Structure 1
Amino acid sequence: MLITKIYKTDEITEAADELKKGELIAFPTETVYGLGADATNEQAVKRVYMAKGRPSDNPLIVTVASFEMMEKYVDNISQNAQKLIEHFWPGSLTLIFKIKPGSLSRAVTGGLETAAFRMPDNAVTRKLINLAGVPIVGPSANSSGKPSPTTAQHVFHDLEGRIAGIVDDGATTVGVESTILDMSSEVPTILRPGAVLGEEIEQLLGEKIIFDRHKVGEKETPKAPGMKYKHYAPDAQVLIVKQKEWNVAYDWAKKSNKKIGIMALNTDLEKNLPDNCIPYDLGSDIHTASQRLFAGLRYFDNEQPVKWILAAGFAEKGLGAAYMNRLRKSAGDRFFEK
């Protein structure tokens, strides 16, 4: 078993050296922690799948430190794509492009002719990539199917002994993964919602884009990460509670002889919480709820095991679309019903 080292931000030269050797290093971003390996080293990339227990047909995001680093792999970068990069990079927007034939291995692309690229809004990780001298793959640094990690401690819990190290830069600030926008199709298409909103993209480009909401089947190769039907799932069954149904949900919970987790805004937690319910505060609005969603799911996995988790639902607009995308997958699309 590997000894997994926690690197401080002033120790990233050592972490970069491990990447050069083909080792796996988890890294911080503004969204969630990623699991890094040299994207040009096929054997290292394959070890990412093994460490996560992830199906190898899933493509991996290629994380870069500069536009020039991405250009080595992508031929035709449209004017619209350049606009998006200039406006949103570094940041929470992942872009899918057709790549130069043979420039990246099938282990990175999932056998597709496209690849996803992102430049994270985290100076520590961009420096790590520059020191390594290569782009790194960057799926979320968790066991496959489990809630994504938003702290180094979450990564350590899932992957201790499976990876060489974790660069610790504190808790992430966004809390849900990046928006994925497919620029290889005729019309730009959002495959996964995130903190960069579709409305912002449309406003910048001055044209409508497509929102792909279809559920990826078990035998279908997804074009981007996070598109499978059930994902981000804790051990407990999650039920999504609509805003006006908390009183009814609490009445239901009172009748149970099981411990029940409650992930709700602080205003809803201030109501008459049943004795058998364990609260997790999602803060005051959709922004804090998005930051804390994965941490809350992990809290009930790792610290307060429960049978059920009642989690706050939001309107599926703006950042609520990204939040509900993750919550629906963690719940298997199950809502609390009266």
Structure 2
Amino acid sequence: MKLRELALIESELERVRAEFENDSLVRSKQISFDDFYRMDSIREWNLDRNHSSKTRPSSLSFRYCCYFLVLILILAYLGRSIDFYSYRRRSQSNCLVPLPNYLQNAFVPAQDCRFCSEITEIKRERSISSEEFSKKYAYTKVPVIITDAQVNWTAQQIFNFDFFKNLYLNGDKNEKDGGSPLGGKNCQFFPYKTEFHSLKQAFRMDPHRANYSIETEPWYFGWSNCDHRIANKLRRHYGRPYFLPNDSESIRTDWIFMGTPNNGAHMHIDHVGRPSWQAQIHGTKRWFLEPPLECYADCSDLTVDVNEGEIIVLDTNVWYHKTLIVGDKISLTIGAEYD
């Protein structure tokens, strides 16, 4: 995964380099490509290419290569005789120079890799005080699993596909109290690899498929709850995790994910601005965590199974993550960010 991404970045750098050298400003010697290529960070990147395929680029060289790529793209496009405003009229995009998908997260603020350099596994804690949790995990970007955090919750006895189906579809039929819980500008729906285009469509899948058997088509989807009436009903069955710092609060929006075994979310990073917790109500979900790009040389990849009744806490704005439902049960999780 990582080597493939790095190879794509290297290929993009070479392509831009060739394009830059053919630019009119470079050919007229107003700008010299060699001036950029003599940068220490670029020389380090060039040397890194001669190392073993298992060698990871240094944090500094990778970071500055990203900056270098942006600079080259800007100069290359500015060097052309393009009428910016007419270009905007011709283009359907808001971006003059769109980034490839695999580079979109390469320019987030760099992390201090000391936060993950000594982490080799995700620890499990129980009966942890909010003071200890705050000191060790709450805002340190260190992931953790709390094994006893769902004590006294009734969610395991109540939450399942049919519960949410009735909760949302029945609410959709009754709009007199302020609108459908399936709509709203703040709602988000994640179909992943399914054919569903909306939460309503997902809840209307064939009951045989929804209840899962080996011969039925698999599914996995998630959504954010944006209806306060639904939120109030959900909170009857789960509460604020006991370990959260006393002065913090869970954000009002619930995030719910459910699906069948051997499915899950692809590798990605979030942009929600806060750390989060996710409670494993049913089933088992395997998490794969990768450090930020600039920390590949210093930090390890992490893998952990979150079992029924446990809660995982992590900063998904920092850790790249993907999930896989393991075992033979449907997975159902609910969670939120906290400040």
The bucket for the TM-score relative to the shorter chain is: under 0.3
What's the TM-score, normalizing by structure 1? 0.23
Structure whose alpha-carbon radius of gyration is higher: 2
